[in-house]
């Protein structure tokens, strides 16, 4: 049973990541390839706060989201100057720089050795969460809030403006909307929630190293997003379900571990190609990538 | 001492140029952000390794077989992924996402067949050449000679033959190219074949020296794309300029700092360049609005 | 009301354009391709920053103000082949064209529910009123408010994006070729919408290649040639001018 709960916790983390990617990629058509960088920044900043200060969770979550969000300004800045493929390669560059810094700045991050013994999250009364059950409930509650808020963003006037920007940015500007501001806010919120997922991951697993926050991880997140679907809330959730549950399904079938890891990647890749061909909006999505 | 690093950088730069041309052939003519090239690169490396280390072919034959097979795989990516999407009028970003899928499939199929660990093609250590203080190893010698020859041949073909003209025309304006009665479909087939050959040559020359593993593709490809961008997008000759610049730059990073900061410096330079001069060193300015 | 602009040096496209647009009138800007008509629009509406000279609107200097703020300050714009925003419904298109941004910041419509709902309701009513004024009571678009933009034909999208401009509470509208590529059956509607704009007290400046249309709607016509306003005056006078006919219409 504990194993099932572990899967659900990881699923919750990925739901947050994929939803956060949907805000920029799905809503505003800004193809960012650096979601794992924000995930990693959140994890490392969160680890720092968890290990240095004995603060209640909401304070730490707030700080992590704020600082991770601030890093998104770099990407917003790039999105003003760079369009199309240049923007994609710039976000890949940002992802690789973050990874290189996490890996090589050993004085702070311990580099490839990783940081072990990260303390658990403390709720209001200094009660430290530990064990699968408590993280399960905490992550479920948190995902509930994130899903609610992101769904609200999708259907709210804010989501409407982002959708309009994806259709035709110049017209939206001529309608009196500061499109740069709207995009920057989208980047900020997206990064902040990815950072939140990072701190949950760090405290739950209690060990982090840079290999969890690679370009491959970013590609994995957007694969999940595009398989599930973009532009609404249920598509990204379905995508997260697909990529987290498929390995368990393969395990259930009884494939040896040596093949299973590669095989599931092959399935993700094939799914991505087929979805792009037959249903470019994703299995359950609403918008099509422009 | 510094000249040793410059020479190393130039030789790496030749390899980047080859891969950058392999990518640019597809990118300039189809505008597809051909990420699957990373998978194709890994495929070529494993074919080369397989025919040398497992089948025991001489290196020259093994590389020819690997190049031929890679050209086929490259063509396969066009016929199975890109052309169907183009026929459905899918956007270029959609094609790029599908390309990511193709890369994932190729790399993991290879990893499943040959394992995830690093392999070497030939472990014999050969006598290096020495020019004064500068030492050039045997693999480096081949990289420099073969690479430069292929680049020279390509530039000649591009400038002097009908095929090169057609290629440059297609990258300038596809609609006009079609209107003038040329067959875009057939030219694209040719483009993907040649692109596969360039990727394979870059791959074989590289892994002959440093060995191979299934996850090496993406970082090399990104360096090649960076080389293409810093040279200037839209042409082919600029890939060589960009490749050599990047190679020397990375090598000097190793000289001044350490090899593990190579990627970060590469991208800092790229970002600075993108902001200051988006058209690249030698590219022409394009109107955006 | 006037705006002036001179010395577009980089392309040397506009060299000393001096144009006063009269309030409450329809002014047409005509001239050959590449004479800088659209560039002039881009300068006025803030999309082109690289110029010298002055844009004066209602006595205020409008130089080098970002495009979105210019729109809020009372200048609306229809782009050449501008259409409805795809992926949004007709109603969402209309709402977004309003200058009122209440509820558009993230979570604000959650925190201030009432205020945001009220603002949305006002915009909805405004949109319906505009459609009724233009297309009459019980027109088909009132039943298509929640349809995606792609449900409308190109011509319909053009007239609806013209109608959309009335949401903005602007005082000057810049229309870049409102009739281009539109089926002739819609041209009367376009004329009617432009007249409606003037009735509501708006000033219209339009770029147009369809000379019959210009004759029908424009009060004043400005002929742009070789980077300057070569001729300015009542429409009939300008279009019948010998030089204009020679150099532009080729008659």
Note the pLDDT of residue A211: 94
Q: What is the Cα–Cα distance from C56 to C2, expressed in whole angstroms?
A: 6
Note the pLDDT of residue B154: 95
Note the pLDDT of residue C21: 78
Q: What is the Cα–Cα distance from C86 to C151, expressed in whole angstroms?
A: 10
- Give, to the nearest 10 degrees, the angle between helix A215-228 and helix A234-253: 110
In the predicted structure, residue C9 carries a pLDDT above the cut 70: no
**How far A16 CA lies from chain C's nearest CA (Å)?**
17
Decide if A277 is inside a domain: no
Note the pLDDT of residue B286: 44
Average pLDDT, chain C: 86
CA dihedral over C133, C135, C138, C143, signed as positive or negative? negative
Q: Smallest Cα–Cα separation from A22: which of A181, A216, A178, A237?
A: A237
- CA distance to A271, A282, C229, per residue, from A274 (Å): 5, 10, 57
Q: What is the Cα–Cα distance from B188 to B183, expressed in whole angstroms?
A: 9
**How far A262 CA lies from chain C's nearest CA (Å)?**
37
B95/A215 Cβ within 8 A: no
Given a contact as 3+ CB pairs under 8 Å, which chains touch C?
A
Query: For chain A, what is the largest distance between any 2 Cα atoms, rounded to a whole number of angstroms?
Result: 58
pTM over 0.90: yes
User: Which residues of chain A make contact with C85, given a CB cutoff of 8 A?
Assistant: 163-164, 167-168, 171-172
Number of domains in chain A: 1
Note the pLDDT of residue B282: 65
Per-residue confidence at A64, pLDDT binned at 50, 70, 90? very high
Q: With beta carbons less than 8 A apart as the criterion, state whether A46 and A64 touch.
A: yes
Radius of gyration of chain B from its Cα atoms, rounded to whole angstroms: 19
Q: What is the Cα–Cα distance from C118 to C126, expressed in whole angstroms?
A: 12
C121, burial (CB in 10 Å: exposed 0-12, middle 13-18, buried 19+) = exposed
In the predicted structure, residue A135 carries a pLDDT above the cut 60: yes
**Residue in C with minimal Cα distance to A165:** C85
Note the pLDDT of residue C82: 78
Beta strands in chain C (DSSP E): 3-5, 17-19, 26-30, 56-57, 60-61, 75-78, 172-176, 203-207, 220-225, 228-234
User: Which residues of chain C make contact with A156, given a CB cutoff of 8 A?
Assistant: 103, 106-107, 109-110
A216/B85 Cβ within 8 A: no
Count of all residues that appear for chain B in the document: 289
- Structural domains of chain B, with CATH: 2-276 (1.10.3470)
User: Mind listing the pLDDT tens digit for each residue in C55-80?
Assistant: 888 888 888 899 999 999 999 999 98
Per-residue confidence at C10, pLDDT binned at 50, 70, 90? very low
- Averaged pLDDT for residues C222-245: 84
Note the pLDDT of residue A70: 96
Reported ipTM: the value is 0.93
- Listed in sequence order, the residues at least 6 apart from A137 whose beta carbon sits closer than 8 Å to its beta carbon are none
Decide if A188 is inside a domain: yes
Q: What is the Cα–Cα distance from A29 to B93, expressed in whole angstroms?
A: 10
**Which residues 154-173 on chain C approach chain A with CB closer than 8 angstroms?**
168
Q: Quick check: A108 contacting B, CB < 8 Å?
A: no
Decide if A196 is inside a domain: yes
A90/B263 Cβ within 8 A: no
**How far A83 CA lies from chain C's nearest CA (Å)?**
17
Q: What is the Cα–Cα distance from A8 to A16, expressed in whole angstroms?
A: 12
Decide if A174 is inside a domain: yes
**How far A181 CA lies from chain C's nearest CA (Å)?**
10
Per-residue confidence at A149, pLDDT binned at 50, 70, 90? very high
C71/A174 Cβ within 8 A: yes
Strand-by-strand arrangement of the C75-78 sheet = C75-78, C172-176, C203-207, C26-30, C220-225, C228-234
Pairing assessment for the beta strands C17-19 and C60-61 based on DSSP bridges: unpaired
B278/A81 Cβ within 8 A: yes
Q: What is the domain extent for residue A55?
A: 2-213
Note the pLDDT of residue C6: 43
Q: Smallest Cα–Cα separation from A40: which of A77, A6, A72, A68?
A: A68
Size of interface A-B (CB pairs under 8 A): 122
In chain B (289 residues long), the average pLDDT of successive 10-residue segments reads 90 96 95 96 97 91 96 97 95 96 97 91 78 86 94 93 88 86 90 97 94 92 92 89 93 87 83 76 50
Q: What is the Cα–Cα distance from A26 to A152, expressed in whole angstroms?
A: 15
Q: With beta carbons less than 8 A apart as the criterion, state whether C47 and C231 touch.
A: no
The encoded tokens of residue C130 equal 């505009």
Q: How far is CA B233 from the centre of its chain?
A: 14
User: Mind listing the pLDDT tens digit for each residue in A174-220?
Assistant: 999 999 999 999 999 999 999 999 999 999 999 999 999 999 999 99
User: Which residues of chain B make contact with A229, given a CB cutoff of 8 A?
Assistant: none
Decide if A268 is inside a domain: no
Give the closest of A152, A176, A287 to C71, CB-based. Answer: A176
In the predicted structure, residue C158 carries a pLDDT above the cut 80: yes
Q: What is the Cα–Cα distance from A14 to A8, expressed in whole angstroms?
A: 10
User: Mind listing the pLDDT tens digit for each residue in C170-200?
Assistant: 999 999 999 888 888 889 899 999 998 888 8
Note the pLDDT of residue C15: 64
Radius of gyration of chain C from its Cα atoms, rounded to whole angstroms: 19
- CA distance to B146, B167, B201, C9, per residue, from B155 (Å): 14, 12, 16, 38
Per-residue confidence at C3, pLDDT binned at 50, 70, 90? very low
Q: What is the Cα–Cα distance from B67 to B47, expressed in whole angstroms?
A: 9
- Averaged pLDDT for residues C139-155: 92
Note the pLDDT of residue B284: 54
Q: Quick check: B254 contacting A, CB < 8 Å?
A: no
Q: Quick check: A82 contacting B, CB < 8 Å?
A: yes
**Residue in B with minimal Cα distance to A288:** B94
**How far A133 CA lies from chain C's nearest CA (Å)?**
31
What ranges in chain B are assigned the alpha helix state H? 2-30, 37-49, 59-77, 83-87, 92-114, 138-160, 162-172, 174-179, 184-210, 217-231, 237-256, 262-276
The three-state secondary structure class of C19 is strand
Note the pLDDT of residue C14: 64
Decide if A275 is inside a domain: no
In the predicted structure, residue A30 carries a pLDDT above the cut 70: yes
Sequence-distant contacts of C107-111: CB under 8 A, at least 24 apart: C107/A149, C107/A152, C107/A153, C107/A156, C107/A158, C108/A158, C109/A152, C109/A156, C109/A157, C109/A158, C110/A149, C110/A152, C110/A156
Q: Quick check: B81 contacting A, CB < 8 Å?
A: yes
Decide if A58 is inside a domain: yes
Decide if A17 is inside a domain: yes
Average pLDDT, chain A: 92
The three-state secondary structure class of A186 is helix
- Structural domains of chain C, with CATH: 3-84+165-249 (3.40.50.300), 90-151 (no CATH)
- Give, to the nearest 10 degrees, the angle between helix A179-205 and helix A131-155: 170
Give the residue numbers in A contacting C (CB under 8 Å), as ranges.
Answer: 149, 152-153, 156-158, 160-161, 163-164, 166-168, 170-179, 185, 189, 231, 287
The three-state secondary structure class of C60 is strand
Size of interface A-C (CB pairs under 8 A): 93
In the predicted structure, residue A107 carries a pLDDT above the cut 50: yes
Note the pLDDT of residue C7: 41
């Amino acid at each position: 049973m504990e194993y099932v709960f572990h899967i659900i916790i990881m699923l919750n983390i990925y739901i947050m990541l994929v939803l956060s990617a949907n805000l920029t990629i799905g809503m505003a058509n800004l193809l960012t390839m650096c979601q794992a960088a924000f995930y990693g920044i959140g994890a490392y900043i969160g680890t720092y706060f968890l290990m240095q200060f004995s603060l209640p969770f909401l304070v730490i979550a707030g700080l992590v989201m704020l600082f991770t969000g601030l890093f998104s300004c770099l990407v917003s800045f790039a999105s003003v100057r760079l369009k199309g493929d240049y923007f994609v390669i710039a976000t890949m560059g940002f992802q690789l720089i973050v990874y290189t810094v996490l890996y090589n700045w050993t004085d702070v991050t311990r580099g490839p050795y990783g940081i072990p013994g990260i303390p658990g999250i403390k709720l209001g009364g200094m009660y430290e969460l530990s064990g699968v059950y408590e993280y399960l409930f905490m992550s479920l509650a948190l995902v509930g809030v994130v899903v609610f808020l992101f769904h609200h963003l999708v259907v709210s006037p804010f989501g409407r403006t982002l959708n309009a920007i994806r259709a035709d940015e110049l017209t939206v500007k001529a309608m009196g909307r500061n499109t740069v501001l709207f995009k920057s806010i989208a980047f900020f919120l997206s990064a902040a929630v990815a950072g939140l997922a990072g701190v949950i991951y760090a405290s739950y697993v209690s060990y982090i190293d840079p290999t969890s926050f690679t370009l491959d991880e970013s590609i994995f997140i957007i694969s999940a997003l595009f398989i599930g679907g973009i532009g609404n809330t249920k598509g990204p959730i379905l995508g997260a379900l697909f990529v987290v549950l498929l390995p368990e399904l393969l395990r259930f079938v009884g494939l040896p571990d040596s093949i299973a890891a590669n095989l599931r990647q092959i399935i993700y890749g094939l799914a991505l190609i087929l979805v792009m061909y037959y249903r470019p909006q994703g299995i359950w999505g609403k918008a099509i990538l422009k | 001492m510094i000249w040793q690093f410059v020479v190393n950088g130039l030789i790496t730069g030749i390899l980047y140029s080859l891969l950058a041309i392999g990518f640019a052939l597809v990118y300039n003519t189809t505008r597809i952000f051909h990420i699957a090239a990373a998978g194709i690169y890994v495929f070529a490396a494993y074919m080369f390794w397989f025919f040398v280390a497992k089948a025991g072919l001489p290196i020259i034959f093994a590389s020819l077989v690997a190049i031929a097979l890679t050209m086929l795989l490259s063509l396969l990516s066009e016929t199975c992924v890109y052309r169907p999407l183009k026929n459905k009028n899918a956007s270029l970003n959609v094609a790029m996402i599908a390309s990511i899928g193709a890369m994932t499939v190729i790399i993991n199929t290879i990893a499943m067949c040959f394992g995830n660990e690093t392999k070497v093609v030939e472990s014999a250590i050969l006598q290096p050449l020495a020019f004064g203080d500068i030492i050039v190893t045997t693999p480096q010698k081949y990289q420099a000679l073969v690479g430069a020859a292929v680049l020279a041949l390509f530039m000649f073909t591009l400038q002097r033959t009908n095929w090169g003209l057609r290629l440059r025309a297609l990258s300038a304006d596809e609609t006009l190219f079609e209107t003038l009665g040329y067959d875009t479909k057939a030219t694209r087939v040719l483009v993907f074949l040649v692109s596969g050959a360039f990727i394979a040559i870059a791959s074989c020359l590289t892994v002959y020296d440093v060995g191979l593993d299934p996850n090496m593709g993406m970082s090399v490809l990104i360096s090649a794309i960076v080389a293409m961008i810093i040279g200037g997008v839209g042409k082919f000759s600029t890939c060589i300029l960009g490749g050599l610049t990047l190679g020397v730059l990375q090598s000097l990073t190793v000289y001044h700092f350490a090899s593990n900061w190579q990627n970060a410096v590469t991208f800092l330079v790229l970002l600075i360049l993108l902001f200051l001069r988006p058209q690249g060193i030698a590219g022409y300015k394009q109107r955006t609005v | 009301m006037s705006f002036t602009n001179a010395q577009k040096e980089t392309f040397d496209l506009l060299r000393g354009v001096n144009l006063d647009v009269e309030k409450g009138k329809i002014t047409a800007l005509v001239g050959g391709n590449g004479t800088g008509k659209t560039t002039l629009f881009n300068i006025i509406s803030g999309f082109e920053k690289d110029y010298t000279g002055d844009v004066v609107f209602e006595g205020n200097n409008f130089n080098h103000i970002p495009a979105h703020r210019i729109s809020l300050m009372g200048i609306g714009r229809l782009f050449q082949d501008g259409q409805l925003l795809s992926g949004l419904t007709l109603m969402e298109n209309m709402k977004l064209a309003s200058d009122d941004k209440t509820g558009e910041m993230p979570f604000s419509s959650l925190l201030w529910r009432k205020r945001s709902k009220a603002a949305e309701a006002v915009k909805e009513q405004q949109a319906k009123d505009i459609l009724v004024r233009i297309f009459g009571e019980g027109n088909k678009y009132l039943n298509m408010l929640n349809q995606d933009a792609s449900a409308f034909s190109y011509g319909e999208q053009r007239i609806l994006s013209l109608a959309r401009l009335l949401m903005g509470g602007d005082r000057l509208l810049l229309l870049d070729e409102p009739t281009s590529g539109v089926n002739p059956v819609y041209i009367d509607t376009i004329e009617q919408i432009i007249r409606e704009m003037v009735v509501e007290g708006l000033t219209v400046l339009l770029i147009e290649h369809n000379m019959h249309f210009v004759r029908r709607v424009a009060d004043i016509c400005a002929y742009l040639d070789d980077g300057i306003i070569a001729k300015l005056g009542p429409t009939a006078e300008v279009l019948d001018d010998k030089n204009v006919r020679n150099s532009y219409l080729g008659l």
